[in-house]
């Protein structure tokens, strides 16, 4: 098989790493890839959001299947373009991707199909109306920009001043871009979050192992939201009763709802859940694998990913093929100084070889680039999230110990990472299984 992977972050490195282990795979391209992906795939400098350019590339390369990592190509309709040409792809359609691309579309979907979700308090395009609504809400208030905002579109507003400032930036100063032209207000939910991701071919589905992401920048869930500072996976995140509830109350109604709305869905579907005292609720949908959740998930895969993805693209997913390693996995994100705000790139990476010598560890690259150095090449930072130190183990503690041991070997100027990934994992959801 020849496979084209679209994207260039840690999630795509995880996919390429796993695909390269398949005896069926003879060639992998990645557009655009990164400094680490270049070791396992041929990187092609094409912008993943530019669907026409990707179609041109695909015409030239003729891959047996294309797999899409990030949301932008999905929202831009890559699956529709491929579908029209009968090219095999693992990606939901443009319309399906509105579940992620528009928080209002997604809230309407949730409401229409009776799925458990935070109560909608209003939808606003006019700043004065949004300000006026603040007099009649309780705090904290959740404010969501409707469209894609690179992870900066949701505010958990503690008070009127914070809410006012966000509304002003979105609706008056246009600082969030086109994604911030409409705002959704909803009630705040309390609980632990869970990332529940499945793969579907539009007929059948197969859940991935459960994961939890750590979205805040600093230890103890302090600081701004990021794309994700680390993730872990253990089956203890999803006791059987909770799993049953999620499948019955959330997953199956969602898949039936898609069908009822005439939306064909082929690819990964991510349910961002809040495990509240009164049961799991949907915070968001993503139309893709999470990053860094994908790294933790891939580390536990015990099946031929290339074969399964080809099956999905052909509409022939066999859920029984998906087997998982017991135990736990962890992905620890090493970020640039300043991330998620401004950061400098071009910092030399050191210690990667020593880190990878730690047993059960794989260092997956996100924001790295290769730079000529003397007679060889060196690796430098090129993004906010730089590396995902990924480890497996028989227990979460064992996986964490390996990941932190490996991270201690790595250095680049300004590097920071959370020291509390996996904290609070003990008995996370056992109390919260009621529908
Ligand atoms: P979203 O992009 O919708 O997942 O929002 C990003 C993050 O904001 C989530 O992972 C939660 O931590 C938080 N969040 C979103 N909606 C709510 C809500 N209704 N109640 C509490 N926290 C929320
Ligand atoms: N880690 C959360 C996301 O990928 O959206």
What share of the chain in percent tops pLDDT 70? 98
All structural domains of the chain, each given as residue ranges with its CATH number in brackets, are: 2-92 (3.40.50.20), 126-181 (3.30.1490.20)
- pLDDT for the residue numbered 435: 40
The CA-atom distances, in angstroms, between 156 and each of 141, 186, 216 are 6, 10, 12
Task: Indicate the pLDDT class of residue 184, thresholds 50, 70 and 90.
Answer: very high
pLDDT per position as a tens digit, 135-159: 999 999 999 999 998 777 999 999 9
In terms of Cα–Cα distance, which of 117, 278, 216, 197 is closest to 424?
216
- pLDDT for the residue numbered 281: 98
- Residue 292 CA to ligand 2 centre (angstroms): 7
Report the nearest atom of ligand 1 relative to the CA of 272: 4
pLDDT per position as a tens digit, 189-229: 999 999 999 999 999 999 999 999 999 999 999 988 899 99
- pLDDT for the residue numbered 225: 86
How would DSSP label each residue in 303-356?
Answer: S-HHHHHHHHHTT---GGG--B-SSEEEEEEEE-TTTTS-----PBPB-HHHHH
Task: Indicate the pLDDT class of residue 273, thresholds 50, 70 and 90.
Answer: very high
What's the mean pLDDT in 329-350? 97
Two tokens at 131? 């300000």
Report the nearest atom of ligand 2 relative to the CA of 11: 4
Closest CA to ligand 2's atom 5: 290
pLDDT per position as a tens digit, 236-266: 999 999 999 999 999 999 999 999 999 989 9
Q: Is a pLDDT exceeding 70 seen at residue 432?
A: no
Pairing of strands 385-393, 328-335: antiparallel
- Residue 186 CA to ligand 1 centre (angstroms): 10
- pLDDT for the residue numbered 267: 98
Q: Is a pLDDT exceeding 50 seen at residue 428?
A: no
The neighbour count for residue 398, using CB atoms within 10 Å, is 16
Task: Indicate the pLDDT class of residue 426, thresholds 50, 70 and 90.
Answer: low
pLDDT per position as a tens digit, 57-66: 999 999 999 9
Separation CA 366–CA 123 (nearest Å): 35
With a 6 Å cutoff on the Cβ, whether 286 touches ligand 2 is: yes
Separation CA 82–CA 161 (nearest Å): 46
- pLDDT for the residue numbered 64: 98
- Residue 231 CA to ligand 2 centre (angstroms): 10
Residues 6+ apart with CB under 8 A from 248: 435
- Residue 213 CA to ligand 2 centre (angstroms): 7
Two tokens at 117? 């979700």
What's the mean pLDDT in 287-293? 98
Burial of 373 by CB count in 10 Å (0-12 exposed, 13-18 middle, 19+ buried)?
Answer: exposed
- pLDDT for the residue numbered 41: 98
Most ligand 2 atoms within 8 A of CB, residue of 9, 103, 154, 270 to mutate: 270
Most ligand 1 atoms within 8 A of CB, residue of 163, 229, 284 to mutate: 284
Task: Indicate the pLDDT class of residue 419, thresholds 50, 70 and 90.
Answer: very high
pLDDT per position as a tens digit, 384-396: 999 999 999 999 9
- Residue 128 CA to ligand 2 centre (angstroms): 32
Q: Is a pLDDT exceeding 90 seen at residue 287?
A: yes
What's the mean pLDDT in 96-113? 98
Give the total residue count for the chain: 435
Q: Is a pLDDT exceeding 90 seen at residue 430?
A: no
pTM equals 0.96
Q: Is a pLDDT exceeding 90 seen at residue 134?
A: yes
How would DSSP label each residue in 144-177?
Answer: EESS--TT--EEEE-SHHHHHHHHIIIIIS-TT-
């Amino acid at each position: 098989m020849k496979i084209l992977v679209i994207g260039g972050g840690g999630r795509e490195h995880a996919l390429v790493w796993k695909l390269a282990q398949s005896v069926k795979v003879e060639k992998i391209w990645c557009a655009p890839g990164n400094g680490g992906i270049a070791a396992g795939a041929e990187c092609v400098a094409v912008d993943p959001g530019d669907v026409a350019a990707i179609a041109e590339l695909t015409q030239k390369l003729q891959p047996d299947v294309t797999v899409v990592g990030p949301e932008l190509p999905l929202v831009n309709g890559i699956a529709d373009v491929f579908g029209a040409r009968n090219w095999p792809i693992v990606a939901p359609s443009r319309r399906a991707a509105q579940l992620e691309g528009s928080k209002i579309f997604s809230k309407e979907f949730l409401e229409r199909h009776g799925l458990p979700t935070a109560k909608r308090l209003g939808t606003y395009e006019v700043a004065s109306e949004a300000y006026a609504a603040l007099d009649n809400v309780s705090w904290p208030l959740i404010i969501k920009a409707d469209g894609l905002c690179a992870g900066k579109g949701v505010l958990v507003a503690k008070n009127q001043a914070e809410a006012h400032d966000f509304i002003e930036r979105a609706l008056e100063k246009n600082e969030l871009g086109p994604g911030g032209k409409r705002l959704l207000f909803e009630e705040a939910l309390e609980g632990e979050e869970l990332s529940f991701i499945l793969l579907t071919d539009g007929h059948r589905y197969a859940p991935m192992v459960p994961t939890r992401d750590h979205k805040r920048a600093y230890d103890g869930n302090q600081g701004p939201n990021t794309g994700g500072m680390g993730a872990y996976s253990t089956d203890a995140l999803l006791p059987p009763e909770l799993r049953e509830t999620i499948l019955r109350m959330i997953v199956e109604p969602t898949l039936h709802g898609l069908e009822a709305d005439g939306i064909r869905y082929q690819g990964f579907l991510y349910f961002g859940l809040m495990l509240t005292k009164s049961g799991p609720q949907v915070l968001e949908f993503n139309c893709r694998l999470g990053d860094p959740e994908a790294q933790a998930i891939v580390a536990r895969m015990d099946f031929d990913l290339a074969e399964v993805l080809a099956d999905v693209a052909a509409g022939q997913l066999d859920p029984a093929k998906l087997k998982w390693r017991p135990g736990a996995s962890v992905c620890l994100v090493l970020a640039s100084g300043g991330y998620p705000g401004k950061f400098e790139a071009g910092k030399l990476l050191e210690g990667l070889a020593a880190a990878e010598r730690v047993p059960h560890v794989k260092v997956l690259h996100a924001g790295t680039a290769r730079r000529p150095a003397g007679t060889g090449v060196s690796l430098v930072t090129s993004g906010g999230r730089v590396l995902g130190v990924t480890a497996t183990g028989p227990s979460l503690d064992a996986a964490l110990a390996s990941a932190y041991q490996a991270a201690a070997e790595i250095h680049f100027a300004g590097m920071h990472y959370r020291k509390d990934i996996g904290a609070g994992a003990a008995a996370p959801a056992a109390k919260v299984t009621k529908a």
